[in-house]
Amino acid sequence: MQGLQRPSLEVGDERVAWEGLASSCASPARRLAATGGLAILLFMLISTALDLYYNAFGVRYALGGIVAVPYRAFYTSLAVSVTVALCGYGVWLVRSLRSYSSFAGILRDGGLDPRRPTRRGLRVYSDEQLLALRSRYERSRDPRFRRLLERTFGFHPDDSFSLAPLNVRPATFEMSALRVEWEAALILEQGRDPLPEITWWMESRLHLMPRQAGKTQRLIYALRYTTDSVQELKRRYGYRTERWPQTVPEGKLFDALRDFEEARRIRAALSRKRS
């Protein structure tokens, strides 16, 4: 019986598999928009080439006159552009679904459910990603999305997380305690109802699956929740930060200014990496 048990994945390998699965779920709407742009560009190039060709080699009915491109050639170039773009979109869609199926199979072989990333807890999620997700939960006004995050991650309105200003940082004792709190709530949620499934289509829109915790990715997640905190602080205490010493309560002023400076520092660090 021991030889028949599925080998479990190490945390690092599990994160790589989840990253591959999540990367396979690129937004189809964005890809379709890019496909439309490609079709327009291709049509413009073909039309320009046809125009040059007919003006160079077409029959002129008047000296110095411009030769019009025949309607049949015009509509043929349009059809070719749309067909090539749609074929490219179809190839991307097939490859995306095939990649998703491959990584889902790796996770299943490791005894995991590719549609329920938190079935074994939150261990594959970095602190930064969890805080970014909790910040989205805090600011969302969609009750269905909030309920999805509650059932998937154990978030709830009365947990120890506070956004404006932030009361927790990654890799701290407070973050570890918050993880325990969320996982306990997650266990209670699993006892009442099965975990919701995160499908290919849902992940392409909501981005809920775990990602590898590289340095740049950590900065991106940190920028999200610090920016959310600063925006909420501005909404509550005024958009002119120089007046915060008069408007922010004394016990929150230091943390509020820290969030503001940290958001600026992270944004500058990401700009340096991209340049």
pLDDT in tens, 116-170: 999 888 988 999 999 999 999 999 999 999 999 999 999 999 999 998 899 999 9
Q: Categorize the per-residue pLDDT at 2 as very low, low, confident or very high, splitting at 50, 70 and 90.
A: very low
Tell me the average pLDDT of the chain: 86
CB 111 within 8 A of CB 6: yes
pLDDT in tens, 162-193: 988 999 999 999 999 999 999 999 998 887 88
pLDDT in tens, 19-74: 889 888 888 878 888 888 888 888 888 888 877 777 776 555 444 555 666 778 77
- Give me the mean pLDDT over the 74-88 stretch: 84
> Can you tell me which residue has the tokens 């699956």?
209
Predicted confidence (pLDDT) at residue 4 exceeds the cutoff of 90: no
Close Cβ partners of 51 (under 8 Å, ≥ 6 residues apart): 69
Q: Categorize the per-residue pLDDT at 198 as very low, low, confident or very high, splitting at 50, 70 and 90.
A: very high
> Can you tell me which residue has the tokens 């099965």?
194
CB 125 within 8 A of CB 134: no
Predicted confidence (pLDDT) at residue 82 exceeds the cutoff of 80: yes
Structure tokens at 190: 């699993």
Taking the C-alpha atoms of residue 152 and residue 48, their distance in angstroms, rounded to an integer, is 53
Predicted confidence (pLDDT) at residue 3 exceeds the cutoff of 80: no
Taking the C-alpha atoms of residue 103 and residue 115, their distance in angstroms, rounded to an integer, is 11
Stretch among 54-58, 180-184, 206-210, 235-239 having the lowest mean pLDDT? 54-58
Taking the C-alpha atoms of residue 252 and residue 116, their distance in angstroms, rounded to an integer, is 38
